[in-house]
Amino acid sequence: MADILLVEDEDNARQVLSLGLETMGHWVTACSGVEEADVALSSDCSFDVVLTDLRMDGRDGGLDVVRMASERCPRASVLLLTAYASAETAVEAMREGAFDYLTKPVSSEELGDAVERALAANISRQADDGTLEEAQKKEKKASKSYVKEPAGDIAREDLLVARSNVMQRVKERLLRAARRDFTVLISGESGTGKELAARFVHAHSDRYQQPFVPVHCGAIPEGLFESELFGHRKGAFTSADAHRTGLIESAHGGTLFLDEIGEMPLSIQVKLLRVLQEKSFRPVGADQEKPANIRIVAATNRDLADEVKHERFREDLFYRLNVVPVHMPALRQRREDIPDLVRVLIERTGAGVNVPAGCVERLMQLPLRGNVRELENLLQRLIALSDDDTLDVSLLDDFCTMSDSSGISLDKIQREGSNLDKLLEGIERQLLSEALTETNGNATQAAKLLGVSFRSIRYRMKKLGMKGD
User: What mean pLDDT is reported for the chain?
Assistant: 80
Q: Is 231 helix (H, G, I), strand (E, B) or coil?
A: strand
Q: What is the DSSP string of 300-352?
A: ESS-HHHHHHTTSS-HHHHHHHTTEEEEPPPGGG-GGGHHHHHHHHHHHHT--
Residue range 333-391 in CATH 1.10.8.60: yes
Kindly list the distances between the CA atom of residue 92 and the CA atoms of 64, 80, 95, 285, in Å, as whole numbers in the listed order: 12, 11, 5, 20
CA-CA distance, 30 to 322, in Å (whole number)?
Answer: 44
**pLDDT at position 183:** 93
**pLDDT at position 394:** 82
CA-CA distance, 95 to 66, in Å (whole number)?
Answer: 10
pTM: 0.55
Half-sphere exposure of 101 (CA within 13 A, CB side): 24
Nearest to 214 by CA among 265, 159, 154, 272: 154
**pLDDT at position 134:** 46
Pick the CATH number of 3-139 from 1.20.58.100, 3.20.20.370, 3.40.50.2300, 3.30.70.20: 3.40.50.2300
Domain at 407-469: CATH code: 1.10.10.60
**pLDDT at position 147:** 31
**pLDDT at position 272:** 93
At the topology level, CATH places domain 145-329 in Rossmann fold (3.40.50)
User: What are the domain boundaries of the chain?
Assistant: 3-139, 145-329, 333-391, 407-469
Residues 171/196, Cβ–Cβ less than 8 Å: no
**pLDDT at position 468:** 63
- Residue 127 burial (CB < 10 Å; 0-12/13-18/19+)? middle
Q: Which residues contact 130 (CB under 8 A, 6 or more apart)?
A: none
- Asked if the domains 333-391 and 407-469 are classified in one and the same CATH topology, the answer is no
**pLDDT at position 432:** 84
- Reading the chain (469 residues) residue by residue, the pLDDT tens digits are 578 899 998 888 888 888 778 766 677 888 988 888 888 888 767 788 999 988 887 777 888 898 898 888 888 889 988 776 555 666 677 777 788 778 777 887 788 878 877 877 776 665 555 543 444 444 333 333 323 333 334 344 456 888 888 898 888 889 888 988 889 999 998 889 999 999 999 999 999 999 999 998 888 888 788 888 888 677 656 666 677 788 999 999 999 999 999 999 999 999 999 999 999 998 887 878 889 999 999 999 988 988 999 999 999 999 999 988 899 989 988 999 999 999 989 888 887 888 898 899 989 988 888 899 889 888 988 888 888 888 888 887 666 654 544 455 555 555 455 667 767 777 788 788 878 777 777 888 888 888 888 888 888 888 887 766 6
